[in-house]
Amino acid sequence: MATALYRVILHGSKTSSYTRFLCRRMMSVGSVVSEDAISRLRDSGLLKTQGLINGDWIDAYDGKTFEVQNPATGSVLANVACMGNRETADAISSASKTFSSWSKLTAGERSKYLRKWYDLLIDHKEDLAILMTLEQGKPLKEALGEISYGASFIEFFAEESKRIYGDIISPTIADRRLFVLRQPIGVVGAITPWNFPLAMITRKVGPALASGCTVVVKPSEFTPLTALAASELALQAGIPAGAFNVVMGNASEIGDSMLESPQVKKITFTGSTAVGKKLMAGSANTVKKVSLELGGNAPCIVFDDAEIDIAVKGSLAAKFRNSGQTCVCANRILVQEGIYEKFANAFIKAVQDLKVGNGLMEGISQGPLINENSVQKAERLVNDALSKGAKVMLGGKRHNLGMTFYEPTVLCNVDNDMLISREEVFGPVAPLLSFKTEEDAIRIANDTSAGLAAYIFTTSMPRSWRVSEALEYGMVGINEGIISTEVAPFGGVKQSGLGREGSRYGLDEYLEMKYICLGNIKDA
């Protein structure tokens, strides 16, 4: 195991002295990867288990903690402060006090703090990635990718903060001048999920801080350690106490405190549709601005004219990234009749090559699912599909590694009425559906209440445009399965959410417009 990790890490061109030390030590004494990594993180000050309020690391006021487990082994990684409404109220009031000073800094001054934070995230990339793999389960290579991706939002918004522009409008009355200012909205409550423990935070906190807002973040209780380590680096970057607070523990208490507070002006959330709807309803009382990134049900449409290698590679990436646990993962693979058999054979062969195991091991591309509920959901949806005529082509059950490992699975004969086509499976199960015409594909793809990401594979340019325009989705990948980037707007339509994250549009979510009318301009 130690040798394998050594190779994984050394595979990259740049390795820190720590990773070399860690690997040598593991090889010489055969110690357990997670214990070594955890003790190193503790020594480096990045293993934080308390909440961050007004620049101080704080225990829960009643001393309660909850366990964070490694989903690959079940071992307890840390006991973390279990906070609730009292801590959240204090975090909100610290953010509110800091808003007056943080929002008055120039964009250039705020930018420097964010840039420093970005540099520190990159400097600690390997530590953060190991921590992420330990608590979330994704393979180390994917975790390293997420650190870069997550950090990129901080870099991007450090730059973009300098490009917040207002407007001057031609007046309708000669002695008036009309202006539009864009000002930060105020304190932001950010609630994030476990599948991207860093990126979902930075995608919200980056633009919020860049625009002059202050933030209270609630990371998922499954993955608070990456969030807390990143927060320590924010402190080291000099981001002022109170501008960035973190609480976690009792999700509904924390959420309700944010909703009830008139000081919180905006809620930004990534997670399940059910919780998103609750937060939207709860925001009505104080009329908060809301942005939501909720569940998807991504169609991945392979047309007869697709280039087979590109379609297989793209569908594989869109489906099996993070073991199928992303809201933009392909949930239904629609394949046109003429290419169905050829695609299915090549796709199954590619899925067979995916290696399941502990994400710290070399060559692993599929880690465990986050918890037992996720495995049971996959089982329920697969069983429903089988009972209605679907067939298992590969996998179809728990992996013999035990824990929450599930076999990479391909089902055929799936139709759009089965539960697996209606709900997000959020696991490594690829259902294949066949269709006859382009119109059929569009109709089936749009027959869902979700509208986040969609993918199409075709070599026809006119078809690319036609189908992209007809798809009721916020994002479309053409001949590409991985489309997320900090420079493009991420978000959905229909019940997949409101608002966009990343890109220059992502700043709009944290800014209010103020119209100013200057009257009685007199000639000199």
List of residues contacting ligand ADP (CB under 6 A): 191-194, 218, 220-221, 251-252, 255, 271-272, 275, 278
Task: For ligand ADP, give the closer residue by CB, 139 or 255.
Answer: 255
Question: Is-contact 43 71, C-beta < 8 A?
Answer: no
Collapse the DSSP code of 56 into the 3-class scheme (helix H, G, I; strand E, B; otherwise coil) and give the result. Answer: strand
Q: Distance between CA atoms of 164 and 166, rounded to whole angstroms?
A: 7
The whole-angstrom separation of Cα 77 and Cα 229 is: 14
Tokens of 162: 């300098």
CB of 190 to ligand ADP, least distance (A): 10
Quick count: other Cβ atoms within 10 Å of Cβ 466?
A: 15
CB closer to ligand ADP out of 64 and 388? 64
Q: Are 202 and 114 in contact (CB under 8 A)?
A: no
DSSP 283: H
Q: Which residues pair with 73 in a beta bridge?
A: none
Output 77 or 190, the one with its CB closest to ligand ADP: 190
Tell me the closest approach of the beta carbon of residue 319 to ligand ADP, in angstroms.
Answer: 18
495 and 450 Cβ atoms separated by less than 8 Å: yes
**Other Cβ atoms within 10 Å of 386 Cβ, number:** 16
Nearest distance from residue 167's CB to ligand ADP, in Å? 36
Quote the least distance from Cβ 34 to ligand ADP, whole Å.
Answer: 23
| 193 versus 492: smaller Cβ distance to ligand ADP | 193
What is the residue type of 422? R
* Helix residue ranges per DSSP H, 13-139: 17-29, 33-43, 85-102, 107-123, 125-136
CB of 204 to ligand ADP, least distance (A): 12
- Cα-based distances in Å from 440 to 72, 352, 357, 436, 443: 41, 30, 38, 6, 5
Active-site entry in 87, 146, 293, 407: 293
Q: Which is nearer to ligand ADP, 275 or 432 (CB)?
A: 275
Dihedral angle over CA of 242, 244, 250, 251, nearest 10: 130
Instruction: List Cβ neighbours of 47 (8 Å cut-off, separation of 6 or more).
Output: 38, 41, 78, 131, 225, 229
Find the distance separating the first CA and the last CA of the chain, reported in whole Å: 82
> In the bound complex, what is the minimum distance in angstroms from residue 264's beta carbon to ligand ADP?
12
**Shortest approach of ligand ADP to residue 192 CB, angstroms?**
6
- Comparing every residue's Cβ against ligand ADP, the nearest one is 255
Nearer to ligand ADP, 137 or 357 (CB): 137
293 catalytic per annotation:
yes
Helix (H/G/I), strand (E/B), else coil: 475: strand
For ligand ADP, which is the closer residue by CB, 275 or 360?
275
Q: Which residues are catalytic?
A: 293
